[in-house]
Amino acid sequence: MQEERHIYYDDDLKIEAYSLQGVVQEFPNHFHNFYVIGYIENGQRHMRCKACDYDLDPGCLILFNPQDNHQCAPINQNPLDYRAINIDIQTMEQYAYEITGKKVQPYFSQHVVFDSDCAQSLARLYTLIVHKAPVLEKEEAFCFLLQQLLLQFCDGTTLTERDALGNFQEIREYLDAHYPENISLEQLARISGCSKSYLVRSFTHTLGISPYRYLQTVRLEKAKDMLQRGKLAVEVAIDCGFADQSHFSNAFKRFIGLTPNQYRQIFLKNAKN
């Protein structure tokens, strides 16, 4: 089966909808700075999220909070068909307020839900976005889906309350601010005031992702923003601290599932329309 990967940006809802079809690619440990709500349409996957392991089958609903580290690989090389939407924190906060009356960033307490009716609601919303349905119809479907999710799978705590920064907030803030630079472990050790080996071990244990993988993920998230604004991949590679365009393209495809140019073209087409 030929692989197909599609991303659609809905300017009315301010969310991304994307799909993977016939994909056997492994996705290494990483995180996103937005919420991800997805479901397995076909295929089987083994996923590890925040130190918990799951075997995913068709119909499984997947919920990622911002900063939830996760990785996945095919089971028996079964190709994956997957649909998902990406919701930025501000948009989620806005809709959560309209649904609950509280100004909070909700936290999903479950990462995998088996045989959930929400998967059908998500599939319907995805279809409406792809086929450019009327705004009111999309908004109703989006509100209905979020209402289901917030009532069933949020435990009342907020994203801020569950953010396990521990003693590494200063390190993470430094990596967020200095991502284009050639940062060394020695620099981070000086900031944290601990040894390099302790820093690597404790940072990885606390956040579920190593300092280098954290930096790499930040660079890719920044790269996505630049590509969405139409910046050329060769310029993005330099601005985000990658050694060259080849390293950037390989990393982007490995984590995002598309090449930088494929991702950029999606938003150029949306701008023309």
In a shared domain, residues 139 and 36: yes
pLDDT of residue 13: 94
Residues 24 and 154 both lie in one domain: yes
> How confident is the model at residue 271, as a pLDDT?
64
Q: Answer whether 241's CB lies under 8 Å from 219's CB.
A: yes
Domain range enclosing 44 = 4-160
- Tell me how far CA of residue 13 lies from CA of 16, 17, 99, 262, 264, in angstroms: 9, 10, 15, 22, 20
For residues 56 and 183, membership in a common domain is answered with no
Ranges of residues in the chain with a pLDDT under 50 are: none
pLDDT of residue 32: 92
CA angle 6, 238, 71 (to 5 degrees): 45
Number of domains present in the structure of the chain: 2
**In this structure, what DSSP letter does residue 169 have?**
H
Q: What is the pLDDT of residues 33-61, one digit of tens each?
A: 999 999 999 999 999 998 899 999 999 99
178, 111: one domain? no
In this structure, are 59 and 154 located in the same domain? yes
pLDDT at 214 (0 to 100): 93
| 247 shares a domain with 172 | yes
d(CA 24, CA 41): 14
Q: Is 156 exposed, middle or buried (0-12, 13-18, 19+ CB in 10 A)?
A: exposed
Burial class of residue 264 (count of CB atoms within 10 Å of its CB; 0-12, 13-18, 19+): buried
pLDDT (tens digit per residue) in 191-226: 988 899 989 999 998 888 999 999 999 999 999 999
Identify the domain boundary among 160, 184, 206.
160
Looking at 109, 144, 160, the residue that finishes a domain is 160
pLDDT of residue 2: 79
Largest separation between any pair of C-alpha atoms in the chain:
57
Mark which of 160, 187, 220 sits at the end of a domain: 160
Q: What is the pLDDT of residue 5?
A: 87
Q: Indicate if 60 and 140 belong to the same structural domain.
A: yes
CA distance 187 to 181: 11
Looking at the structure, do residues 65 and 192 belong to the same domain, yes or no? Answer: no
Verify that 32 and 148 share a domain, yes or no: yes
Spatial separation of the C-alpha atoms in residues 246 and 10, rounded to whole Å: 30
- Indicate which CATH number applies to the domain containing 203: 1.10.10.60
